[in-house]
Structure 1
Amino acid sequence: MKDNFLGGFLVFLGACSFGVLSSIVKTAYKAGYTLGEVTGIQCFLGMLMLWSIHFIVKAVHKPKVSASTNTPLATSTTQSPESTKKWKVCAVGLFPGLVGICYYQCVQLVPASIAIILLMQYLWISIIIDFVIFKNKPTIIQLATVIVIILGSSLAAGMFNQDITLNLTGCLFGFLAALMYSLFISTSSNIGNELPKLEKSALMITGACFVTFLIFPPLFFFKLDINDKLYQLGFLLALLGTVLPPFLFSIGIPKIGISLSAILSAAELPVAVTCSFFYLHEAVYFTQWIGVVIILLAIALPNLKHIKKTA
């Protein structure tokens, strides 16, 4: 019982940390920073933090050495296949890199409360990708969930509210972010699972950093002072978006299972909407809150039967 509570709490915290990212990005834009600077500093600092943590953990947990031969006890005469696969894990970083660019561009053009709703469309896009690429036919419950999510998203995005004017370019970037996130989930779950979690995360964010700097050359490093506010905001983005959630999820999800984790991770949505309302003072209408509730119910209901079986 204690492990279940702790696991659920960690997954919930990870989702909440994701939810505040859009508000931090909006703050950076208001301070005059650009898309390339925001995405670049997050990837760069996140990469440094993950590799630092990985090497520290690796140094602490060194393999035991035989006193007689002065060599590690567990050695292999054949080359490890991991070394040939690391470049593939790094290549998967293409998708989170593009997620950050597309999502933060979306945040620049539409309210943060709508940007997060557009990103959440990865839920039904993932089902389509799973069917088209991996030939896994969706169930009736999954199809019904897709329809409910689309309905809830329409309400949450304010499509039926005449007081809300949506930027079509921003919505397109939000949809692209959801597509890239779906591709990231599909690829990352099938590549590099034999690697330590920290190393896999560090390799992927290295790939994301490479893609980001390829699109937005990091020239801002040469004109910023070390005390510049961008480094402070970048540290928060890297910590809350790159380092902390994967760490919390890696500990929490095994304790409570994927089904309950899917429900708790949906906390990202109301947290983002709440932050946009109270922190950014963006207008969030009653119909939008109803849409948020509908999306959360659509995520939760298909998983309830699995939770009852494991209860």
Structure 2
Amino acid sequence: MKQQFIGGWLVFLGACSFGVLSSIVKTAYHAGYTLGEVTGVQCMFGMLILWGLHVIFTTFRRPPNKVSNNDNNKPFTPRWKVVATGIFPGLVGICYYQCVQLIPASIAIILLMQYLWMSVMIDYVVFKNKPTSMQLLAVIVIIVGSCLAAGITNQSIHLNLTGCLFGLLAALMYSLFISTSSNIGNHLPKLEKSALMITGACIITFLIFPPFFLFKLSFNDLIYQLGLLLALLGTVLPPFLFAIGMPKIGISLSAILSTAELPVAVTCSYWYLQESVYFSQWLGVLMILLAMVLPNLIHLRKKR
């Protein structure tokens, strides 16, 4: 019971750390920094930290006595393919942070959450896995809740169309990342796999936004502090907490606790960024949370 409690808290904290990213990005924009500077510094710090941790753990870790049969059964993936998979999280960061720049952060996170039904569609179209009736019902509730949360029923809310398109594009890239990363590089240690992926994200980011700004900024510049915070809360800490906590509590309960990202992001935008969040939007957020939580609760109940 104690291990489950600790594991649950770790997963919950990992989800919460994801939820505060949009508010930090908004702070960087208000300070005058650009999309390329924010995404570039975050990817650079994330790559350096992950590779540094990988070198430290590899140096001081005892070599295993023998390789288990489970490890032998895992398909081998060339490391360059794992790096290539990092293109998707790199594009997620670029598209999502561009969305945050153009529309309120409380609505940007709603658009990103559309990866939930997009993943179901990709799983059906690409992998031929037919969705269950519960999944289809959850998709319908998520779409309706997203319309409410985005403020479609509120005439006082005017959304930037370009920002919405970038938000939906970020959701698509995230769903593609989930679909590919779960099938690639599973034979590698989790830390090395994460470092390879963030390297790919850093490469695509620097190709789109060449890092010339690194030569213009001083080392005590605010962007480095914000970028380090984004790297820790968005790149390093959540995967680490999830890797420790999820095996202790299982996939279904982890999926329930990871929904904390959505209310945390909306709450931060309301209290910290002083963005207006109407009752209909909170109702939409609640609908999305129910659509995410109820199927996993039903699965847990059947399992018990």
TM normalised by structure 1 equals 0.93
Residue number among 132, 139, 143 corresponding to 1:146 in the alignment: 139
Identity %: 75
Distance of aligned partners of 1:304 and 1:207 in 2 relative to their CA distance in 1, 3 Å threshold: same
Residue 232 of structure 1 pairs with residue 232 of structure 2: no
Structure 2 counterpart of 1:285, which letter? Y
2:141 and 2:298 mapped to 1: Cα distance?
Answer: 18
Residue 281 (str. 1) matches residue 284 (str. 2) = no
The amino acid of 2:107's aligned partner reads I
* 1:28 paired residue number: 28
Structure 1: how far apart are the matches of 2:177 and 2:77?
Answer: 20
Is 1:13 the counterpart of 2:6? The answer is no
C-alpha separation in 2, matches of 1:29 and 1:138: 40
- Give the residue type in structure 1 aligned to 2:185: G
Structure 1 residues 154 and 251: CA distance shift in structure 2, 3 A: same
* CA RMSD, 1 decimal: 1.6
Superposed displacement of residue 167, structure 1 = 0.6
In structure 2, the partner of 1:269 is 262
Which residue number in structure 2 is paired with residue 45 of structure 1? Answer: 45
What is the distance in 1 between the residues matched to 2:289 and 2:63?
Answer: 45
**Alignment check: 8 A CA contact 1:113 1:273 kept:** yes
Deviates more, 1:5-14 or 1:126-135: 5-14
1:62-113 Cα shifts (integer Å, max 9, x gaps):
427xxxxxxxx769xxxx9998611110000000000000000000000000
- The answer to whether the Cα contact below 8 Å between 1:82 and 1:195 also exists between their aligned partners in 2 is no
1:54 paired residue number: 54
Say whether the 8 Å CA contact 2:75–2:186 is kept in structure 1.
Answer: no
Unaligned runs of 5+ in 1: 65-72
**1:94·1:211 contact (CA, 8 Å) conserved in 2?**
yes
Q: Which residue pairs with 2:215 in the alignment? A: 222
Cα deviation, residue 221, structure 1: 0.5
- Matched residues in 2 for 1:269 and 1:82: separation? 34
Secondary structure of residue in 1 paired with 2:78 = helix
CA contact (8 A) 1:117 1:156 kept: yes
| Moved >3 Å (runs of 4+) | 80-84
Matches of 2:75 and 2:144, distance apart in 1: 44
Equivalent residues in 2 for 1:54-93, closer than 5 Å:
54-63=54-63, 85-93=78-86
Name the structure 1 match of 2:124.
Answer: 131
Match of 1:70 in 2: none
Q: Per-residue displacement from partner, 1:177-235 (whole Å, max 9, x unpaired)?
A: 00000000000000000100000000000000000000000001000000000000000
Equivalent residue letter for 2:146: S
Structure 1 residue 309: deviation in Å? 3.6
The residue aligned with 1:212 is 205
Counterparts of 2:297 and 2:32, CA distance in 1:
45
Change (3 A) 1:259 1:82: closer
Match runs of 1:192-211 below 5 Å: 192-211=185-204
Does the residue aligned with 1:267 lie in a helix, a strand or coil?
helix
Larger-Rg structure: 1
Corresponding residue to 1:163 among 137, 156, 163: 156
1:4 is displaced (CA, Å) by 1.2
For 1:104, which of 97, 100, 110 is the aligned residue?
97
Q: Which residue of 1 aligns with 2:247?
A: 254
Unpaired segments of 5 or more residues in structure 2?
none
Q: 1:305 to 1:82 in 2, by over 3 A?
A: closer
Report the Cα distance in structure 1 between the residues aligned to 2:270 and 2:66, rounded to whole angstroms.
55
- The aligned amino acid for 1:297 is L
**Superposition TM-score, scaled by structure 2 size:** 0.96
CA distance in 2, matches of 1:122, 1:257: 21
